Amino acid sequence: MSLLLTMGELAKVEGVSNGNPVSVLVFSIASAWQDIPVDIQAKCAQANLQLNDVCVVVTRDSIFSVPNAIFIVSLFTNEEGLLRFVSHSALINASGTAHTSLIFILAIIAIIIFTAVVMAIVLYENHSVKRLRDWAKSLTATSLQLAPPDFNYIELNSLAKIIHGSLNSVQVTLEREHQFLRNASHELRTPITVINSNLALLEKMKQANKSEQQQQVVLGRITRANSTMLHITETLLWLSREDERSVSYSLLRLDTLVESAVDSLRYLLFGKQVSVQLETLNSELELPLGGCHIVVANLLRNAFQHTDNGIVTIKQGTNFISIRNVNAEASSCSQDQPISFGLGLKLINKLSKQFGWKYHSVIEDRGYYVEVHFLTSSTQ
């Protein structure tokens, strides 16, 4: 705006006539278009020039270079109403223009390269993150046994280890819970059977008006079975936790425990021609009742189940129990037949290892021989 006002004031300069332009400072004032400098005529079109308007043209070698010339022309009227063309042209110092243009071009190239590198890094990181996501989604109980793959970044590898460790911990917990349920369903069958059968027997005895003493015998079996269930559950929970908290020990009669287990499992011999020879010795030891009952009950259960026609010999000493079953026919026992059903054998081995008991088993011609030596809390 100030340039336009200045040029308007210059249009009032006197002495301007056709063919006789006047120069004031850097400006030329002419009364006719043909009197202004030729270079300005070449850059500015007269037809586009309006009264009280200015035409400015800037030239440069390329879009990346700085301007090298400027052409200005304006049209005004003086105080007499005569047309006046006020013009100016200037060459801009071009020294260092090429250098400046080169710097500008290099800067543009550097920005493009930097942007491309950043995009490549982002895409590569996104690919690694996607690999991590796909790996985490594909994890199974089997694949958790393998180490996490390399995701090329320390942070992603750390995250993968955290995910692997957390899911592996959850998987171990689930396996322990499943194992506990399998063990519990396996071990609690006998005491539950004892409770149910004796409850039914007690109901019949009440209906038959049996003596109080006879009913107390049945109630005693139910009480012992309930106590056995409690200790079995405690032992199985302890095994499933696998921590350092010790299971409770109590003073128990080993002979009573063996006799009770034999009595509880006799239903397995119904319909079989099997003779049970039981030899016990009064023995009172400080042992974990649940663990001891699980081992004895599983050994007796296996002996009864593996004998169809023969003899089962049970010997209980001060701190041990041995069981031998002999079938009348050699065909009843095969060398390929397992000594114990899988879950029962696992429990026996695991409990023996946990408590430091000595467990020994042998396959014989027509049966099996097993022996367990118990260690009390004071001898461990």
Strand-pair category, 273-279 with 309-316: parallel
Q: Same structural domain for residues 89 and 120?
A: no
Last residue of some domain: 79, 94, 109? 94
Measured distance CA(306)–CA(310) in Å, rounded: 10
Give yes or no: residues 203 and 55 share one domain. Answer: no
Higher pLDDT, 28 or 244: 28
What is the rounded average pLDDT of the residues 221-249? 69
What pLDDT band is residue 241 in, cutting at 50, 70 and 90?
A: low
Q: Residue 61: its pLDDT value, please?
A: 67
Say whether both 305 and 216 belong to one domain.
yes
Joined tokens for residue 43: 């850059």
Structure tokens at 137: 């989604």
| Residue 180 located in a structural domain | no
Number of domains into which the chain is organized: 3
Residue at token pair 């425990």: 257
Query: What value does the mean pLDDT take over residues 47-65?
Result: 73
Q: Let me know whether 218 and 144 are in one domain.
A: no
Q: Which pLDDT belongs to residue 98?
A: 54
Question: Is residue 246 domain-shared with residue 363, that is, in the same domain?
Answer: yes
Whether residue 204 is found in the same domain as residue 318: yes
Q: Is residue 269 included in any domain, yes or no?
A: yes
The CATH number covering residue 265 comes to 3.30.565.10
**Domain C-terminal end among 141, 169, 197:** 169
pLDDT winner (highest mean) among 65-69, 189-193, 287-291 = 287-291
Same domain, 159 and 201: no
pLDDT at 240 over 50: yes
- Decide if pLDDT at 274 tops 50: yes
The alpha carbon of residue 43 and the mean position of all alpha carbons in its chain are separated, in whole angstroms, by 73
DSSP state at residue 56: E
Calpha distance 124→152 (Å, rounded): 10
In a shared domain, residues 237 and 271: yes
**Is 358 found in the same domain as 212?**
yes
- The rounded distance, in Å, linking the Cα atoms of 301 and 189 is 11
The model's pTM: 0.47
Q: Dump strand ranges (E) for the chain.
A: 22-24, 27-30, 53-60, 67-77, 83-91, 250-253, 273-279, 284-287, 309-316, 320-327, 358-364, 367-373
In a domain, 143, yes or no: yes
Top-ranked range on mean pLDDT: pick from 153-157, 189-193, 226-230, 374-378? 153-157
- 198 and 320 part of one domain: yes
Q: Are both 85 and 116 inside the same structural domain?
A: no
Average pLDDT over residues 148-153: 82
321-372 pLDDT per residue, tens: 999 999 987 644 444 444 344 556 777 888 888 888 999 989 888 888 999 9
Domain assignment present for residue 178? The answer is no
CA dihedral sign, ordered 333, 334, 339, 342: negative
Written as six digits, the tokens of 351 are 């409990």
Kindly list the strands in the beta sheet with 320-327, ordered across the sheet, starting from the edge strand earlier in the chain: 273-279, 309-316, 320-327, 367-373, 358-364
340 part of a folded domain: yes
Examine residue 331 and state whether it is found in any structural domain, yes or no: yes
From 31, 65, 94, the end of a domain falls on 94
What is the domain range of residue 32?
2-94
Nearest to 304 by CA among 330, 269, 271: 269
**360 and 235 assigned to the same domain:** yes
